[in-house]
Structures are given as C-alpha cells and as structure tokens.
Structure 1
Amino acid sequence: MTEKSKNADPAGETASFGGFQRIYQDLLEEMKTVDVRAAAQNLGLPHTEEEGVEVPFLGRTFLISNRGAASKDGEMVREIMASVLFHYIMCGSAARPAGRFVTLSELAGPLFKQSSYSGSALERPIARRFAGKSDELLSVAESLGGRREGEAGLGGISLVFETLPHILMQIVFYDRDEEFPARAIVLFDANATKLIDFESLAVLATIFIRDLVNR
C-alpha cells in the first residue's frame, strides 16, 4: 500500500471510475486463467462446470466462474463486490480461521499503522447507527448470520460474523451510558489475509458494515 493510499477509501469511492473500470477488466481477464474447481475444493464450496463456485455473501449466493460473476437470484452483481469475490477465488486458500481476533492494522503491517480508516469507515458508523439500540443491533446481526460469541468486557456485546466462508469478523459494541458515547471495535480473524489479500479484505469489511448499518 502506498503512502497516498493509506487513508483512501478501500471501497474505491474516491478512485476514478475509469481507473476502476480498467482494474475490473484486468480482473476479468485474470479470472479466465484461474483454476476455479481447485479453489472451490480448497474453500470447501459447491462447484459445477456450468455455473462455477457458489459463494454465499450477505444472504445471497454468487456464482464465480472463469467467465466472471453472476448471482443465483438473477440480480446484478456490483463490480466492486465482484472484484472482492474474484480476489477471494483467486487466492483459493485452504486456510481456516485461527480463532484469534486482531485489528485491521495488525493484519496490514506497518504501512497501515497510522491510518484512521478502520475507525472512521467501520467502527464509527456502527456506533452512530446503534447508539441506544443494542436490541436492534442483535436483531440485525442475526439477520446477517451473526452470533453472540467472544469476549467483550463489562457492558459490551461481542458478535462474530462469517463475512465470506472462513473469513471471520468480530464486532464488539458498547452502548452509550450517562458518561460515555456508544463505541464499536471491529476485529478480524488472524488468518483472514491468508484467505484474501489485505486491500480486498478492507473492501469486504466496508461492504459488510454498510449493509449492517443500512438494515
């Protein structure tokens, strides 16, 4: 990650549309050479020659093949989402969760240490959306397959989500009280970047959190 990109929006909203289009077209070309069957086997996901590998994400099932991305429900697949899924299949990792959660900056290494991205784009929107609404957070989390799990500390709620198969995210939420505002902490399984590259993980998290807070 370059110095210029440290505080950029990994979801690509600050990037030029033309630039992203070129990147997306390059990904489509690269997908033509990927061994999708092997990736499916490593990830433990269903695969057919006709449709490709089935990847569940945000309550939908996406079909990723050498031809590109489609969805079982027939709805359009946004290019930014397709790009994340392409990177996930290209990695095609047999890694599994470590069972230990760390910060986004720990996964990124030294170049991301000073970035405020996790706080501004991931944690702050959760705190704003669910301040005074812990019960609603639990309900929305359940709709996304979240489960109460992990350590939160006094007065906190810990939720674990499988964003993509084997890529786990933990959200620790502390609701507001008389002294402190609501606060959220977003963590990732320590093996997350063995299953997808770091920048795609950041985009994946952004898409997931935006869906969470907009429900």
Structure 2
Amino acid sequence: MPEPCRFHFEATMARDIDRLAGNDLSARADTLGACLSGNALIIPFFGDVHRVSADGIIDALGNPPTPAVGSLLLDYVLRATIAPPATDAWITFREFAGAGPLMGHFTGNTNRLIESRFAGALHALQAACAGLGGRAIDSEPGFDCCVELAALPRVPIRLSFNDRDSDFPAQCALLFRKSAETYLTLKSMAVAGTWLAGKLTAPSGR
C-alpha cells in the first residue's frame, strides 16, 4: 500500500485539480512565466516539461508526475495571483517563517544527502548539476562550487558546496529567493529540494 505521505499528496492533487476548473489559466501565465497552450499551462520543473490543466497533469511523454511533484505544480499554479515582493534576497530554507517543523526532513533529504554523495567528488557534482541545466556562478566566495538551477519559472534554487578537506567535512547549502514563498508553500519548497537532491545523487546523475 502507498505510504501515508503519498496518500496526502494524492488527496491534495485531487482537491487542487478540482480548484483549477474554476480558474482562468491564461491570467496566470504571465505571473508564473509559463506558456499557455490551449486550456493548459506548460511548466518546466527542473527542465522536465509538464502540461497542467483541469484535466490533469502529464509530462512531455504523456505520463503523470509523482503525486509529490504534481501537488507542487498545482500549488505553484494556484498561488500565481500573489505578486512577488520588491526585494528578493537569497535565503536558506530555515529562514522562511514556519520552516522549523520541516527542517529535520529538509536537511536530511537535501544537504546531508548531497554532502554524503559528493564528498571527495566535486567534479561529479558539477557534472550532475550541469546535466540538470545548472549554471555555474561565482557570486558566493569561499565555496568550491556554486550553481543556480531553475526549479520552476521564477523559482530558482542555488546550490553552494564546499568539498571535504583535512580539517572539515563536505558542506552543502541550498538557497531560495525570498519570493519563492509567494509561489510555493514550504512543503512544496521541501519537495523541490528533495527532488533535486534525489536526482543529483541517483546513479543516472553521476
């Protein structure tokens, strides 16, 4: 049987699909930075294109996403009427209001997973990030690797990594724009971080 969290995401998806039926998706396209195709929004999630409409969600091959990703995409679309803030600093997940109860899950399934997999394998991390469309940046002095990835249109994630050395273990940090909270709930942000870490550390991402 599915795990309880899967039940939760499936129930959330069913509820939010029903909510889409009463919404004008064309009015949300510009806010999201998404494309409109017929009665659907075309939304890339870390480069994988999804078609989102009141009829459901499918990827480019016609397959449905996992319940967690589907729930995230619907959350993103339904929150699209909220205007982003004027200032948009980079912050850690911990710095979002209310993140405390999710921190253990988030850290264990993102930062620590990446640190464990890529300690002593900096080039492998850089290659895995590039495979997801990551763009190397040099605006984070003191880090061995800093990459910006597009989780969704208008929702980038920045990954900063220091490899292990003789004095310190590997260290990873994931940062979001402060405006991410206008597009996603904290649970959806955690899903995005978890998905990214899982994709990077999967054998195919090596």
**What's 1:95 paired with?**
84
**What's 2:141 paired with?**
153
In the alignment, the residues of structure 2 paired with residue 43 and residue 115 of structure 1 have an alpha-carbon distance, to the nearest angstrom, of: 27
Matched, 1:200 2:188: yes
In the alignment, the residues of structure 1 paired with residue 99 and residue 43 of structure 2 have an alpha-carbon distance, to the nearest angstrom, of: 31
Deviation (angstroms), 1:176: 0.9
What residue ranges of structure 2 are gaps of 5+ in the alignment?
Answer: none
Letter in 2 for 1:207: W
Is residue 36–residue 66 contact of structure 1 (8 Å, CA) maintained in 2?
A: no
**What's 2:175 paired with?**
187
1:164 to 152, 174, 190: 152
Is residue 172–residue 184 contact of structure 1 (8 Å, CA) maintained in 2?
A: yes
Superimposed CA distance per residue, residues 116-153 of structure 1 (whole angstroms, 9 cap, x where no aligned partner)? 23321210011111111111111111111111125433
**What's 1:76 paired with?**
64
**What's 2:4 paired with?**
15
Count residues with an aligned counterpart: 201
Is residue 173–residue 182 contact of structure 1 (8 Å, CA) maintained in 2?
A: yes
Matched, 1:210 2:198: yes
Is residue 157–residue 173 contact of structure 1 (8 Å, CA) maintained in 2?
A: yes
**What's 1:25 paired with?**
14
Matched, 1:56 2:44: yes
Matched, 1:42 2:44: no
Structure 1 residues 110 and 197, CA gap change in structure 2 (3 angstroms):
closer
In the alignment, the residues of structure 1 paired with residue 117 and residue 103 of structure 2 have an alpha-carbon distance, to the nearest angstrom, of: 22
Deviation (angstroms), 1:18: 4.1
In the alignment, the residues of structure 2 paired with residue 14 and residue 89 of structure 1 have an alpha-carbon distance, to the nearest angstrom, of: 26
Determine helix, strand or coil for the equivalent of 1:211: helix
Is residue 43–residue 50 contact of structure 2 (8 Å, CA) maintained in 1?
A: yes
Letter in 1 for 2:140: A
Is residue 118–residue 124 contact of structure 2 (8 Å, CA) maintained in 1?
A: yes
Is residue 104–residue 187 contact of structure 1 (8 Å, CA) maintained in 2?
A: yes
Determine helix, strand or coil for the equivalent of 1:25: helix
Structure 1 residues 20 and 195, CA gap change in structure 2 (3 angstroms):
closer
Determine helix, strand or coil for the equivalent of 2:161: strand
Is residue 120–residue 163 contact of structure 2 (8 Å, CA) maintained in 1?
A: yes
Is residue 6–residue 68 contact of structure 2 (8 Å, CA) maintained in 1?
A: no
Percent sequence identity over matched residues? 23
TM-score normalised according to structure 2 size: 0.86
Structure 1 residues 45 and 94, CA gap change in structure 2 (3 angstroms):
farther
In the alignment, the residues of structure 2 paired with residue 54 and residue 112 of structure 1 have an alpha-carbon distance, to the nearest angstrom, of: 33
Structure 1 residues 40 and 206, CA gap change in structure 2 (3 angstroms):
same
In the alignment, the residues of structure 2 paired with residue 85 and residue 148 of structure 1 have an alpha-carbon distance, to the nearest angstrom, of: 26
